[in-house]
Amino acid sequence: MAEANTMDALVALCKRRGFIYPASEIYGGINGFWDYGPLGVQLKNNLRDHWWRSMVECPPIGPDGHPLQMVGLDSSIIQNPNTWVASGHVGGFNDPMVDCRECKTRFRADKVFYVYVFSEACSREIKDDMSIYLNRDPGCEGEVEIVLAAAAEGDSLEQAADFAPEAIRQAAKNHNIGNFKKCEAPEEVSLLRGLGTFLLKDKNGLDFLTVVTPATRADGGPRPCPRCGAADSLTEPRLFNLMFETFVGAVKDEDAKAYLRPETAQGIFLNFKNVLDTMRVKVPFGIAQIGKAFRNEVTPRNFVFRSREFEQMEMEWFCPPDEAPKWYEFWKAERMKWWRGLGIEPANLRLRDHDKDELAHYSDACVDVEYKYPFTAPNFGELEGIAHRGCFDLTRHQEHSKIKMDYFDPERNERYIPHVIEPASGLTRGALVLLCEAYTPDESRPSKVFMKFHPKFAPVKAGVLPLVAKDGMPEIAEKLYLELRETFIVDLDIKQSIGKRYARQDEIGTPYCFTIDGQTKEDDTVTVRYRDTLQQDRIAISKVKDFLAEKIGGK
């Protein structure tokens, strides 16, 4: 697997050989959507089936030496829209953005903060305007003096408490008000409401108020850019809807609004009680699901890496709260082992722990399995996220649905809401990794390139080729083909020269070719040609099926 400019060649090969086509191509395409061709769907299904097999049908052995409990699920793509209110996606996936007209930087509006300082001697108008942020009745005393942009990229709302004192200090300094020493000591700054409003006190009590507010709420005053400092250069916040909306039923009004799921996980949480009540499972156990998910990405990029419709393989592991760190570590190791087991070059895989400030709203800790994609190299890009979701989701659904989500643990004789560890893989990203990993230029062979798929994932397992299309060879080949296709996906290719046919099989990554030649009629043997080495062995035609079974493995 090679450098970034091979990505174009890979994309071209994917189309030329029927792996992946641009969606709606005859209408000029549609950005962020891809169609999986005959070979692509086979490759993707092979990966999908392997995950399902190793997760649901034959789950890993747990730390106690016994197999884990795991069940499967296939929930609906469209659910009651309250699902997404409860999960936080209706809020979280509607991120307003602002752009700097000067330096062209884009910020998430809730990560750009403005600081308003509200002190004595300000106009009534501003005072009243500010009071909405202060959650006070209009007509209160005080004055707004300052509007200051002061967000650093990567600052989250949660960090505002750390950020605010410094910003306030600067504000006070720049505008020469107040004694900014007063807010240096943390105890002198207290959070009034939410994350935005700070009360700065001195010995005499209330001195002045500051409001730190994300740009989403900062309508009115000048909007300087935190990056380049240009005055009033930010645009109004614009909404980017990351969830696809649709309408259920014939009448298209707001009441009928629903969403295409942006992750498969919520379908699992919605069915937690059902599974618990019907499947004789005990905590700890897991529910696994594979399916499509949809995100209206601002910018789909890098082939199928970031597409608007994609496929996930997700598992939610429910465990007692005090065991969550143990299971987090367990799945972290287990998932890495799984990816390595696919035959991926170990140097191209790594684990990366998320920093606190990049954690999603639902997670306590998160680690990514990352792959060195050609377009990210020498850096890595995400392939799977293993999140410690705590009891966030079940708790939220309990709140919103009023249905109890707690679990009675008979062994501990206690009730709790289970904590959740979530290994969430991209199936379509996984297929992309298999493609990237397999792509092997080789100037020495006629095809100049071959796809070095692990035999287990190769879309076609073997080619059945008569050396020449005469002397009864095609007949023998067809007989072998009919026998093999009962168990394996095999190609029968009779026409054209043998070299040309080998080359074609190389390019689609067929690991073995069985060739019927003159000797076959004499001693019932065929040659087996290995894709990776180009070497050939002679084996009995009756052993071909066993040969493939051994090479490709069982289920």
Nearer to RNA, 238 or 415 (CB): 238
Task: Write out the binding residues for RNA, residues 472-531 only, by CB under 7 A.
Answer: 495-504, 506-507, 515-518, 526-527, 529
Q: How far is the CB of 372 from RNA (least distance, A)?
A: 14
Q: Which two tokens stand for residue 340?
A: 């390595």
Q: Does 236 bind RNA (CB under 7 A)?
A: no
Q: How far is the CB of 108 from RNA (least distance, A)?
A: 5
Q: Does 297 bind RNA (CB under 7 A)?
A: yes
**Contact pattern from residue 382 through residue 421 relative to RNA, giving x for each residue in contact according to CB under 7 A and a dash for the rest:** xxxx------------------------------------
Nearest partner of 313 among 86, 67, 53, 89, judged by Cα: 53
Q: How far is the CB of 181 from RNA (least distance, A)?
A: 34
Nearest partner of 289 among 459, 423, 393, 387, judged by Cα: 423
Q: How far is CA 230 from CA 104, 108, 152, 222, in A?
A: 11, 17, 15, 10
Nearest partner of 6 among 444, 440, 547, 490, judged by Cα: 440
Q: How far is the CB of 304 from RNA (least distance, A)?
A: 7
CA–CA separation, 225 vs 231, rounded Å? 7
**Which residue carries 């980017």 as its tokens?**
240
Q: How far is CA 525 from CA 169, 515, 542, in A?
A: 86, 9, 8
Q: Does 12 bind RNA (CB under 7 A)?
A: yes
Q: How far is CA 69 from CA 273, 315, 320, in A?
A: 16, 12, 14
Q: How far is the CB of 354 from RNA (least distance, A)?
A: 9
Nearer to RNA, 178 or 237 (CB): 237
Q: How far is the CB of 271 from RNA (least distance, A)?
A: 20
Task: Write out the binding residues for RNA, residues 260-279 only, by CB under 7 A.
Answer: 263
Q: Does 325 bind RNA (CB under 7 A)?
A: no
Asked whether the CA dihedral 277, 278, 283, 288 is positive or negative, the reply is negative
Q: How far is the CB of 411 from RNA (least distance, A)?
A: 33
Nearer to RNA, 77 or 192 (CB): 77
Three-state secondary structure string covering 229-266: CCCCCECCCEEEECCCEEECCCCCCHHHEEEECCCCHH
Segment interacting with RNA (CB under 7 A) among 98-106, 183-191, 215-223, 402-410: 98-106
Candidates 42, 119, 428, 510; binder of RNA (CB under 7 A) is 428
**Contact pattern from residue 440 through residue 469 relative to RNA, giving x for each residue in contact according to CB under 7 A and a dash for the rest:** -----xxx-------------------xxx
CA–CA separation, 213 vs 194, rounded Å? 10
Nearer to RNA, 131 or 447 (CB): 447
Q: Does 238 bind RNA (CB under 7 A)?
A: yes
